[in-house]
Amino acid sequence: QKEVEQNSGPLSVPEGAIASLNCTYSDRGSQSFFWYRQYSGKSPELIMFIYSNGDKEDGRFTAQLNKASQYVSLLIRDSQPSDSATYLCAVNNDYKLSFGAGTTVTVRA
């Protein structure tokens, strides 16, 4: 079993819709969770981090964490063409991050 798994893509959403990205992790001791956005050919950039159960909102992005279910998600509201990228879920594990394979999102105009 992989440490961090993300829903397989690609995910295609119309402009203005909500994109929903899911991530599950195997280590119950993980304390911090991150979402990175990676444009093609570029390095990952941090979108959000979340430490506590519940929702965390930042602009059009909402991260949701459920430690009991070992599940973290990212919602992108009012999706824009500039949101088209690969989104990486990362989970802290003893001062190291484990990454999922990523979900590629395409926002169509």
Partner 1 sequence: DGGITQSPKYLFRKEGQNVTLSCEQNLNHDAMYWYRQDPGQGLRLIYYSQIVNDFQKGDIAEGYSVSREKKESFPLTVTSAQKNPTAFYLCASSNPTSGRETQYFGPGTRLLVL
Pull the structure tokens for residue 27.
Answer: 């280590």
Burial class (CB within 10 angstroms; exposed 0-12, middle 13-18, buried 19+) of 34 = buried
β-partners of residue 55 are 64
* Phi, psi for residue 47 in degrees, rounded to 5: -100, -55
95 binds partner 1 (CB under 8 A): yes
58 binds partner 1 (CB under 8 A): no
Of the candidate residues 49, 56, 75, 106, the single one contacting partner 1 (CB under 8 A): 49
Of the candidate residues 85, 92, 105, 107, the single one contacting partner 1 (CB under 8 A): 92
Alpha-carbon distance of 47 to 52, in angstroms, equals: 16
69 binds partner 1 (CB under 8 A): no
- Judged by CB, which is closer to partner 1: 34, or 83? 34
Of the candidate residues 12, 51, 53, 59, the single one contacting partner 1 (CB under 8 A): 51
11 binds partner 1 (CB under 8 A): no
Span 29-48, contacts to partner 1 by CB under 8 A: 31-32, 34, 36, 42-46
Q: Is the peptide bond before 81 cis (omega within 30 degrees of 0)?
A: no
Judge whether 88 and 9 are in contact, CB under 8 Å: no
Q: Report the interface residues with partner 1, using CB under 8 A.
A: 4, 31-32, 34, 36, 42-46, 49, 51, 88, 90, 92, 94-97, 99-102
